[in-house]
Structures are given as C-alpha cells and as structure tokens.
C-alpha cells in the first residue's frame, strides 16, 4: 500500500496527475484494500465463512435465553415450545466486517431436549462424542476489561474472572463457561 501511495505522490509532484486524481486514486486504493480483503475470504470449495449458529442445550432454554439476552443485549426471535433463537444483531444487519450478502448474522439457539432420544424421523442415532466445546468466547464492542468487569458484577453475573491479558470469563446460569474479549484477542494473539 505504501509503495503505491509513494508512486502516486511522485506522479502528482511531477504534474502527471492532478490533485483531484491523486485524492480519488488514493481513496479508491484505501477502500479497495478492504474489498480485496473481503474477496480473500471468498470460498474455494467448502470453506467456513463464519459461525452460523451455536446449538446450546440445557434444562431450561428460556432461563438461558433470558440470561444471554440481558448480558449481551440480544433480541429473541423464533420462540418455540422448546427453543429460542438469539441473533447477534437486528434484521438486515451484516455480521461484523463481513460484506458477503449470503453470510447471515451468527445466532445461538437455546434448546431443552433429550440429546439421547432416538431421532423422530428414523435417522441414525447421534453418536456419542468424545470431544467437548468447553467454552465459547464472544467478541464484544469497545471491550475495556475493568469497565466490563464492573458492569457484569453490577448485573449479578456469577464468577467473573480475568482470562489472560485480553478477556474475562464468567459462568452462565447452567455453569457453562463464557468468555468475552475485544478484537485484540484473536487467532494470532491467543495461546
């Protein structure tokens, strides 16, 4: 990027392009970098673009949904007899930093169900997993650990504790570990 800027600046200084052209080209290049970055995410074959949803099963889906709604300011949609859905935003919004129109907002489905029950449609029973998702980390806006810790404690959130340099952990109503952080905690900084 800097090399391109320098070359255009040279052309401007040599009178090859006008001031207006310089500004337009640099604006296009700077915003085009974002578009190129988005294109780099385009799938080749099967490539995960984003978490579509997390399926969370617990003894009381409504209690869990209400807790996550309160803590994360999430609306509830699609209330059914045994589940509720919490999207990470409003209808029509795009996921953070995603421009592709066929990537919807991530959501959590809170369910109450027997995971060991045989499928109603006669499908093969769910095999027993030897892996476990022992916590999920969520990215929140404007994360400042001390301020957020105070906020969570004021809301009565249980077991709020520091998690490394960039995050906090807490426990949801069913003892599930929930981590929150800002953008600083990512695949390059974690671990």
Q: How far is the CB of 119 from other proteins (least distance, A)?
A: 11
- Reported as half-sphere exposure (CB side, CA atoms, 13 A), residue 150 has a value of 3
Q: Does 132 bind other proteins (CB under 8 A)?
A: yes
Member of 83, 88, 160, 170 binding other proteins (CB under 8 A): 88
The secondary element (H helix, E strand) that includes residue 27 is: helix 19-39
Q: Does 162 bind other proteins (CB under 8 A)?
A: no
Q: Does 82 bind other proteins (CB under 8 A)?
A: no
Q: Does 142 bind other proteins (CB under 8 A)?
A: yes
Q: Does 51 bind other proteins (CB under 8 A)?
A: yes
The site string for other proteins over 168-187 (x = CB under 8 A, - otherwise) reads: ----x-xxxx-xxx-xxxxx
Sign of the alpha-carbon dihedral angle for 136, 142, 148, 151: negative
Q: How far is the CB of 162 from other proteins (least distance, A)?
A: 16
CA–CA separation, 165 and 140 (whole Å): 15
CA–CA separation, 82 and 88 (whole Å): 20
* ∠ Cα 183 141 35 (to 5°): 60
Q: How far is CA 72 from CA 87, 164, 174, in A?
A: 11, 21, 17
Within 10 angstroms of residue 181's Cβ, the number of other Cβ atoms is 23
Q: How far is the CB of 82 from other proteins (least distance, A)?
A: 13
Q: Does 114 bind other proteins (CB under 8 A)?
A: no
Closest residue by Cα to residue 89 from 73, 103, 102: 73
Member of 18, 21, 82, 189 binding other proteins (CB under 8 A): 189
Tell me how many residues contact other proteins (CB under 8 A): 101
Nearer to other proteins, 81 or 131 (CB): 131
Q: Does 150 bind other proteins (CB under 8 A)?
A: no
Q: Does 97 bind other proteins (CB under 8 A)?
A: yes
CA–CA separation, 95 and 106 (whole Å): 7
Kindly identify the residues of this chain, within the stretch 13-42, that bind other proteins according to CB under 8 A: 19, 22-24, 26-27, 29-31, 33-34, 37, 41-42
């Amino acid at each position: 990027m800097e090399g391109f800027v320098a070359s255009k600046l040279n052309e401007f200084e040599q009178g090859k392009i006008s001031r207006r052209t310089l500004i337009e080209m640099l604006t296009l290049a700077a915003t085009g970098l974002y578009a190129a970055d988005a294109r780099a995410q385009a799938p080749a074959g099967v490539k995960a673009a984003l978490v579509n949803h997390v399926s969370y099963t617990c003894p009381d889906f409504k209690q869990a949904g209400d807790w996550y709604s309160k803590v994360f300011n999430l609306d509830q949609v699609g209330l059914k007899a045994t589940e509720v859905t919490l999207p990470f935003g409003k209808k029509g919004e795009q996921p953070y930093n995603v421009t592709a129109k066929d990537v919807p907002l991530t959501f959590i489905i809170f369910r109450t169900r027997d995971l060991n029950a045989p499928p109603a449609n006669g499908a093969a029973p769910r095999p027993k997993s030897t892996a476990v998702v022992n916590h999920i980390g969520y990215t929140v806006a404007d994360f400042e650990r001390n301020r957020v810790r105070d906020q969570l404690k004021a809301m009565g959130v249980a077991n709020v504790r520091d998690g490394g340099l960039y995050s906090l952990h807490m426990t949801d109503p069913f003892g599930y570990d929930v981590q929150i952080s800002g953008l600083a905690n990512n695949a390059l900084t974690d671990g």
